[in-house]
């Protein structure tokens, strides 16, 4: 294999899409698609633009729902792309062709469903919904020149409650998801993908009993 050095403008190698719901100042719900998210124990770290409406809502209310669309929900995700809940669209987004949208549920053809532990609604059409609270905020790019410093935040949320549809549960277990049935939507270099059917090979990691990871969590 021969490698060449390149300088990509983005490093989006492929991560699941998350539709984050938050509550606006006027108590209406907002939805934002994002995919710079990673998971550890009962935490998720969200990489978000500091000036997005979702970030402002999260910092103010400390609450959100992380809704995971499956790979059939591209039309919904595309309807939300290049929209913002910010009435004053930031200059950078204007240049990228973003527009203000007040009612993201209507725009995306999605249905709000009451949450149990937080105020922002869940998205009924998403097979996975995680109610969560903000527990930590970290500023990224502190090492960069002042124009970009602080433009991106890593927000740590604690998942309080997870809801999944029956179709993706692992038979015989109360708390497990069947990875053969769960089809996350993946964003790779701005394009939308699904996972190929089936495992590429047996996984050595999967020999570890899943419940052993619960020790990392502090449930209330």
Ligand X SMILES: Cc1cc2nc3c(=O)[nH]c(=O)nc-3n(C[C@H](O)[C@H](O)[C@H](O)COP(=O)(O)O)c2cc1C
Residues lying near ligand X in the complex (CB under 6 A): 17, 30, 32-36, 47-49, 52-54, 77, 81, 84-86, 98, 187
Shortest Å distance, C-beta 82 to ligand X: 7
Smallest distance, ligand X to C-beta of residue 53, A: 4
55 vs 138: CA distance, rounded Å: 12
CB of 98 or CB of 162, closer to ligand X? 98
Please state, as a whole number, how many other Cβ atoms lie within 10 Å of the Cβ of residue 28: 13
The DSSP secondary-structure symbol of 169 reads: B
Strand pairing report for 83-84 and 63-68? unpaired
Contact 19, 123 (CB under 8 A): yes
- Closest distance between ligand X and the C-beta of residue 158, in Å? 19
Between 13 and 213, whose beta carbon lies closer to ligand X?
Answer: 13
- Residues 98, 82 contacting (CB under 8 angstroms): yes
Q: What is the Cα–Cα distance from 150 to 143, expressed in whole angstroms? A: 10
Half-sphere exposure of 73 (CA within 13 A, CB side): 27
Question: Based on CB atoms, which residue is closest to ligand X, 34 or 126?
Answer: 34
Smallest distance, ligand X to C-beta of residue 60, A: 13
Q: How far is the CB of 163 from ligand X (least distance, A)?
A: 22
In sequence order, which residues have a C-beta less than 8 Å from that of residue 151 and are 6 or more positions away?
49, 50, 51, 141
Specify the residue, 24 or 115, whose C-beta has the smaller distance to ligand X.
Answer: 24
| CA-wise closest residue to 115 among 149, 152, 67, 65 | 65
Which CB, 54 or 115, lies closer to ligand X?
A: 54
Residue 12 or residue 170: which is nearer to ligand X going by CB? 12
SS3 breakdown of the chain: % helix, strand, coil, rounded to 5?
Answer: 20, 35, 50
């Amino acid at each position: 294999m021969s490698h060449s050095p390149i300088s990509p403008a983005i490093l989006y190698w492929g991560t699941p899409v998350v539709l984050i719901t938050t509550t606006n100042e006027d108590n209406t719900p907002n939805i934002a698609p994002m995919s710079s998210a990673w998971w550890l124990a009962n935490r998720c770290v969200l990489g978000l633009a500091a000036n997005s409406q979702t970030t402002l809502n999260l910092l103010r209310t400390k609450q959100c729902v992380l809704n995971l669309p499956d790979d059939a929900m591209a039309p919904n995700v595309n309807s939300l792309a290049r929209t913002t809940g910010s009435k004053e669209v930031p200059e950078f987004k204007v240049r990228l062709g973003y527009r203000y949208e007040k009612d993201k549920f209507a725009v995306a053809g999605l249905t709000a469903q009451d949450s149990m532990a937080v105020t922002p609604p869940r998205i009924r059409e998403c097979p996975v919904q995680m109610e969560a609270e903000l527990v930590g905020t970290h500023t990224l790019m502190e090492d960069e020149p002042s124009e970009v410093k602080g433009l991106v935040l890593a927000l740590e949320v604690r998942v309080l409650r997870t809801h999944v549809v029956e179709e993706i549960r692992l038979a015989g277990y109360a708390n497990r998801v069947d990875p053969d049935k769960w089809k996350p939507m993946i964003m790779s270099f701005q394009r939308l993908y699904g996972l190929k059917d089936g495992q590429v090979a047996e996984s050595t990691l999967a020999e570890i009993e899943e419940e052993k990871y619960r020790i990392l969590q502090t449930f209330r």
